[in-house]
Amino acid sequence: MVEANQRSAYSRPMSEPTKSEKGESAVEVAADCPRCQKPMPLCICDSVTPIESRISLLILQHPQEQDRALGTARLTAQHFEQAVVKVGLSWPSLSKALGRPVPDPSRWAVLYLGSAKVADLDTSSDVVAINRKGELEDHQRGILNDIEGIVLLDGTWSQAKALWWRNPWMLKCQRVILNPKHPSRYGALRREPRRDGLSTIEAAGMLIAALERRPQIAAVLNASFERMLTRFREVQHTMPELAPKPKGRPKRDFRRRKRG
């Protein structure tokens, strides 16, 4: 289930007349895919096969995360039957955000790096549960085995931070961070990568694959992401208005763990 409320600011119904603005004519005339909300030339939805997964997925998207060309929240959600995408800044509870009762929020995990530094933690695990101080939780295996749903914060680092602080119910959930061994496949395409370096779709794949011990889930999501990026690069040549180059220099803030 993907809910499209509050998208009116930047998603146009296909029937609405389009304005012709200088330099944006292709952006204006290209219809949006109702599933991924990308302009149709950038859409790869037809190639997505949903995965059966035990873990539920909720993606909270900051309203200013408007990168329709390179965003991955809705593409990620299409891989899972029960995934929910919500756009907004705050919700009164996990149940309200998700749209169904959650008996035990402590069996949900929010992926939020914040100021935690995985390199400072003594771990080589892909997924790490941390406490409010950003330290390793004592019972990693027990916490991670009990997780039944995850919350991803979709946006830039500062947008994710805003979502974290505006939704205090997240403190009732577990908090997890990722320990990626490789930087994002976005490469230089994205101006302001997430601080943990990964796109939402890569993060979802890595997290769910680790929690379910099914590496194939990460492989499927990464393959979809590769197809999305390949399509983007093709469109950059044929319809550059739809696939703008990033402005300015990409921030290189992926902090790679030093390995001795």
- Stretch of 7-15, 35-43, 62-70, 153-161 contacting Zn ion, by CB under 5 A: 35-43
| Closest by Cα among 108, 242, 246 to 170 | 108
Residues from 36 through 75 that contact Zn ion (CB under 5 A): 36, 43, 45
Asked if 186 contacts 70 with a C-beta cutoff of 8 angstroms, the reply is yes
Q: Radius of gyration of the chain from Cα atoms?
A: 18
Please identify, using beta-carbon distances, which residue of 7 and 96 lies nearer to Zn ion. 7
**How far is residue 67's CA from residue 38's CA, in Å, rounded to a whole number?**
9
Residue among 34 and 63 whose Cβ is closer to Zn ion: 34
- We find the least distance from the C-beta atom of residue 45 to Zn ion, in angstroms, to be 3
Told to check if 111 binds Zn ion by CB under 5 A, we report no
Q: Name which position in 2, 10, 28, 35 contacts Zn ion (CB under 5 A).
A: 35
Q: Is 227 in the site for Zn ion (CB under 5 A)?
A: no
The three-point CA angle 243-34-227 to 5° equals 45
Beta bridge partners of 87: 61
> Cβ–Cβ contacts within 10 Å for residue 35, how many?
16
Q: CB of residue 205 vs Zn ion: minimum separation in angstroms?
A: 18
> How far apart are CB 225 and Zn ion at their closest, in Å?
14
In the bound complex, which residue of the shown chain has the CB atom lying closest to Zn ion? Answer: 33
121 vs 113: CA distance, rounded Å: 13
Which is nearer to Zn ion, 35 or 172 (by Cβ)? 35
CB of 12 to Zn ion, least distance (A): 15
3-state secondary structure of 120: helix
Q: Which is nearer to Zn ion, 32 or 196 (CB)?
A: 32
Helices (H) and strands (E) in the chain, counts: 7, 6
| Contact set for Zn ion, span 5-34 (CB under 5 A) | 33
Considering CB under 5 A, how many residues would be counted as binding Zn ion? 5
Nearer to Zn ion, 31 or 121 (CB): 31
Nearest Cα residue to 151 out of 134, 125, 170: 170
Phi, psi of 151 (to 5 degrees): -115, 125
Answer for the pair 174, 234: CB distance below 8 angstroms, yes or no. Answer: no
Q: Pick between residue 62 and residue 68 the one whose CB is nearest to Zn ion.
A: 68
Q: At its nearest, how many Å lie between Zn ion and the CB of residue 73?
A: 12
CB of 197 to Zn ion, least distance (A): 25
Nearer to Zn ion, 41 or 105 (CB): 41
Length reported for the chain: 260
CA distances from 1 to 33, 78, 86, 251 (A): 16, 8, 10, 34
Q: List contacts with Zn ion (CB under 5 A).
A: 33, 35-36, 43, 45
